[in-house]
Amino acid sequence: MITVIMTAEVSKMADYIICNGKIVNGKNEAPFEGNIIIEGSRIKEITKTTEFPSDFPTERILDAKGGYVTPGFIDIHRHGDWQALENGDDELLNRQGLTTVVNGNCGLSVAPVGTEHQKEILGFISSVTGNPPEKYIKEDKSCPAAESFHAYMDALKATKRSVNTGMLAGNGTIRACAAGYRTGSLTKEELRTAWKQIEESLDAGALGISLGIAYAPEFEYDEKSLIEVLSPLKDTGIPITTHVRSEGDSLIESQKEVLHAAKALHIPLHISHVKCIGKKNWGTKCEEALRLFAQARAEGVQLDFDLYPYLTGSTQLVHVLPPECQKGGTDEIIRRLKDRTYRKHLTEVLKTPSDEFENIVELAGFDQIYASTLHTEKYKAYAGKTIQEIADFTGNDPYDTLYDILIEENCQVTMLDTIASEEDMLHFLKDEYANLISDAIYPAGGKYHPRVYAAFPKVLTDYVRDRQIFTIEEAVYKMTGRAAKPLHLDRGVLEAGKAADINIFHLENLKVKADFDDPDQFCEGFDYVLTGGKIAVRDDRWTNTGSGEVLVRK
């Protein structure tokens, strides 16, 4: 051990010294023993010694007691747009070691929605983002904080959080702001409006543009029109993140679509929550996708991807319907679902394998599709049940049950769907270009997915400690240094001059409590979590430090 004693000058200026820890620096390097000196919101120095001045105040010594010291975890894929404006999820974030999050994903950001289509847009995405906090809603039910990206970012900057927060501008929201949920191509005027919203969002600090090509209204774009609407990004180096059109039978074709767009625009591409949906696609499309990614990089595309550590996903229940049924927005969807002739046609479509859309009903089955948020008197008692179970309870056909639920609930239903293979998931996660996310959504009412509370500790407890699939440095890298790269975040590593976003924990003490039966449970076992040099968690007790920063594109 190197026994370098810190100078008196350093000790006097330091706010905290972290000692007796095994430092995992976020660079996929082996842990080493040492001290971390924190001054203000930054790391002043890292020394490979466990000694410190004897006169240093004991209350400013954070003794890791042989535990791991890591960068704060970074989750670049959440949907807590509204939560961020009221500190609604700060505690659950910090208590799983998260110090940096990015919202606005999958094209479904809550801004910019403008005024003309605002109510419809915010209603349509509420099963993912929840509803605006009451303090942001005016008497006429409008929400000025969502009208423009500038307005949203102003509201975010006024909120003192204990996590650093970045935001993507959703391409789906931008299209809906310009043209609502109508079918067909954008007019020249609507296209100019979309371009203006993209440019204004980037000017307001958006870290990039997120796409949700599987969702209304973005599924109206073909490859050519997608490239056209994103043309303000050409040659800028500004990244796009994307939920591809299909993660099932047409996975490879869908990935090629966005790769072509990124190549044409000469911009970085990040593919969100990579998976292969449907048993018939397990074990084959994973390898094919990774070969496709490698080929794209060889051709000059800057490409990486993320995934969450669960086999069950979560999104809008309306997403199981084919695009033909979702066209025109909620009112049109409900009108179609009330038409008995159309329902008969729709049932035949959902029973048939398709290359045209992601047919989750056919790929997963009604016994693997759960209605996790239900609000009406007729159905709320069935929240958390599968569509098949609800059909059995009510004595109805599962297809009719699906349609009736969507009608009764005005399409504002969140689902859980068990769709993926663990073998595929681990194969993707082991790739050097993969980072970990949660894809946490925040529907109004009903049950959350446990990944909201526990995605990152789940990897540490399950895949590092218990099953030893990853080393601690590999797993931490995918949560920190690797996770910072796609959106160019100046976070995720422990080195002098970097932000003092730091976790201290003993791997043997980490406990994931959130599960599908009771998801709203905090993780346990974090000795310390620091955001910007301030202690947000000490021995599982949380305080809102207000030391988080709003991260903007620079």
- Output the CA torsion sign for 493, 494, 495, 499: positive
Residue 536 pLDDT > 50, yes or no? yes
| Residue 407's pLDDT band (cuts 50, 70, 90) | very high
Query: What CATH number is associated with residue 463?
Result: 2.30.40.10
Residue 446 pLDDT > 80, yes or no? no
Q: Give the global pTM.
A: 0.96
* Same-domain check for residues 147 and 163: yes
Residue 295 pLDDT > 50, yes or no? yes
* Same-domain check for residues 31 and 106: no
* Same-domain check for residues 389 and 426: no
Cα 438 from Cα 68, distance rounded (Å): 22
* Same-domain check for residues 393 and 449: no
Q: Summarize the confidence of residues 384-404 as an average pLDDT.
A: 97
Single out the residue in 416, 443, 473 at which a domain terminates.
416
Tell the burial category of 12 from Cβ atoms under 10 Å away from its Cβ (0-12, 13-18, 19+).
exposed
Q: Is residue 152 part of a domain?
A: yes
Q: Is residue 49 part of a domain?
A: yes
So what's the pLDDT on residue 11? 58
| Residue 1's pLDDT band (cuts 50, 70, 90) | very low
Which tens digits make up the pLDDT trace of 467-501? 999 999 999 999 999 999 999 999 999 999 999 99
Between the CA atoms of 50, 55, 60 and 65, what dihedral angle is there, to the nearest 10 degrees? 30
Instruction: Tell me 435's DSSP state.
Output: E
CB 423 within 8 A of CB 137: no
Question: Residue 54 carries which side chain, given as an amino acid letter?
Answer: S
Residue 4 pLDDT > 70, yes or no? no
For tokens 């029109």, name the residue: 225
Which tens digits make up the pLDDT trace of 332-362? 999 999 999 999 999 999 999 988 899 999 9
- Short-list 112, 122, 117, CA closest to 181: 117
| Residue 88's pLDDT band (cuts 50, 70, 90) | confident
Cα 16 from Cα 18, distance rounded (Å): 6
Single out the residue in 416, 440, 463 at which a domain terminates.
416
**Pairing relation of β-strands 61-63 and 16-23?**
parallel
Instruction: Annotate 446-494 with three-state secondary structure.
Output: CCCCCHHHHHHHHHHHHHHHHCCCCCHHHHHHHHCHHHHCCCCCCCCCC
The count of other CB atoms within 10 Å of the CB of residue 177 is: 26
Q: Is residue 65 part of a domain?
A: yes
Name the domain count of the chain.
3
Query: What CATH number is associated with residue 155?
Result: 3.20.20.140
Residue 230 pLDDT > 50, yes or no? yes
Distance of CA 23 to the CA centre of its chain: 27
Instruction: Tell me 524's DSSP state.
Output: B
Residue 509 pLDDT > 50, yes or no? yes
So what's the pLDDT on residue 445? 81
Q: Which of 40-54, 264-278, 280-294, 447-461 has the lowest mean pLDDT?
A: 40-54
CB 128 within 8 A of CB 448: no
- Short-list 459, 457, 451, CA closest to 510: 457
What does residue 230 show for φ and ψ, rounded to 5 degrees?
-90, 5
Q: Summarize the confidence of residues 209-222 as an average pLDDT.
A: 97
CB 128 within 8 A of CB 443: yes
Q: Is residue 552 part of a domain?
A: no
Q: Summarize the confidence of residues 274-302 as an average pLDDT.
A: 97
Q: Which residues contact 314 (CB under 8 A, 6 or more apart)?
A: 372, 414, 415, 416, 417, 439, 441, 449, 451
* Same-domain check for residues 308 and 329: no
Tell me the two tokens of residue 498.
């970097």
Cα 114 from Cα 380, distance rounded (Å): 32
Q: Is residue 439 part of a domain?
A: yes
Residue 10 pLDDT > 70, yes or no? no
Q: Which residues contact 226 (CB under 8 A, 6 or more apart)?
A: 211, 213, 257, 261
Q: Is residue 553 part of a domain?
A: no
Between the CA atoms of 81, 87, 88 and 91, what dihedral angle is there, to the nearest 10 degrees? 120
Q: Which residues contact 158 (CB under 8 A, 6 or more apart)?
A: none
Q: Is residue 14 part of a domain?
A: yes
Residue 331 pLDDT > 80, yes or no? yes
Cα 142 from Cα 58, distance rounded (Å): 52
CB 382 within 8 A of CB 350: no
* Same-domain check for residues 474 and 434: no
Between the CA atoms of 270, 224, 316 and 131, what dihedral angle is there, to the nearest 10 degrees? 80
Q: Is residue 1 part of a domain?
A: yes
User: What residues form DSSP beta bridges with 505?
Assistant: 68, 526
**Cα-only R_g, the chain:** 23
So what's the pLDDT on residue 189? 98
Q: In what order do the strands lie in the sheet with 434-436?
A: 169-170, 209-212, 240-243, 269-271, 303-307, 434-436
Average pLDDT value over all residues in the chain: 96
* Same-domain check for residues 208 and 329: no
Q: Which of 44-58, 197-211, 441-455 has the lowest mean pLDDT?
A: 44-58
* Same-domain check for residues 223 and 339: no
Residue 461 pLDDT > 90, yes or no? yes
Residue 7 pLDDT > 80, yes or no? no
* Same-domain check for residues 167 and 143: yes
Please indicate whether residue 194 or residue 58 has the higher confidence score (pLDDT): 194
Q: Summarize the confidence of residues 12-34 as an average pLDDT.
A: 94
* Same-domain check for residues 248 and 300: yes
Q: In what order do the strands lie in the sheet with 312-316?
A: 312-316, 414-418, 369-373, 385-386
Tell me the two tokens of residue 2.
């190197």
Domain residue limits at 354:
322-416
* Same-domain check for residues 188 and 293: yes
Q: 323 preceded by cis ω (within 30°)? A: no
* Same-domain check for residues 155 and 201: yes
So what's the pLDDT on residue 2? 30
% pLDDT > 70, the chain: 97
CB 182 within 8 A of CB 119: no
Which tens digits make up the pLDDT trace of 134-168? 999 999 999 999 999 999 999 999 999 999 999 99
Q: Which residues contact 415 (CB under 8 A, 6 or more apart)?
A: 314, 315, 316, 317, 319, 320, 369, 370, 371, 372
Q: Summarize the confidence of residues 311-333 as an average pLDDT.
A: 95
